[in-house]
């Protein structure tokens, strides 16, 4: 089971620890279920409002995770990743720090999500 810690400097006292039940729900769904105020609009990987930074909370390496095509487009438009960054992550089989909460499926790893 994954332990997902949501954190935001404006809500320091509202850090939420949530355990994901399945590997089919998105980070945004998990946030909404736990009343974490992650911003969103389209919920379809197109607007970029739900951009979050995801990092590991333990010493383990993060699991490789490929960005969806929508994430690649939006994260480039937001200036979070360059085309070179995206290529490098794919070659190295590494996850991106920057994700769209509505596109990221929660997996079995403990992560810190800054929103």
Of the residues 2, 32, 46, 105, which one makes contact with ligand FES according to CB under 6 A = 46
Asked if 30 touches ligand FES (CB under 6 A), the answer is no
- Our CB check for ligand FES shows the closer of 58 and 77 to be 77
Q: Which stretch binds ligand FES (CB under 6 A): 10-18, 35-43, 58-66, 86-94?
A: 35-43
Inter-residue contact 44 to 73 (CB < 8 Å)? no
Closest CA to 113 of 56, 75, 65: 56
Site string for ligand FES, 48-87 (x = CB under 6 A): xxx-----------------------x-------------
The rounded distance, in Å, linking the Cα atoms of 79 and 109 is: 26
- Our CB check for ligand FES shows the closer of 40 and 109 to be 40
- Our CB check for ligand FES shows the closer of 89 and 102 to be 102
Instruction: Specify burial of residue 92 (Cβ count, 10 A radius: 0-12, 13-18, 19+).
Output: exposed
User: Which residues in the chain belong to E strands, given as ranges?
Assistant: 3-7, 16-19, 51-56, 98-100, 111-114
Would you tell me which residues interact with ligand FES (CB under 6 A)? 40-43, 45-50, 74, 100, 102
């Amino acid at each position: 089971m994954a332990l997902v810690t949501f954190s935001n400097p404006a809500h320091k006292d509202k850090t939420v620890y949530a355990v994901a039940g399945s590997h089919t729900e998105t980070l945004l769904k998990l946030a909404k279920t736990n009343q974490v105020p992650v911003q969103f609009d389209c919920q379809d990987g197109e607007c970029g409002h739900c951009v979050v930074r995801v990092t590991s909370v333990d010493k383990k390496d993060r699991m490789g995770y490929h960005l969806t095509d929508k994430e690649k487009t939006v994260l480039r438009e937001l200036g979070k990743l360059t085309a070179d960054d995206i290529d490098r992550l794919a070659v190295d089989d590494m996850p991106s720090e920057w994700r769209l909460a509505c596109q990221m499926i929660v997996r079995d790893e403990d992560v810190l999500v800054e929103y």
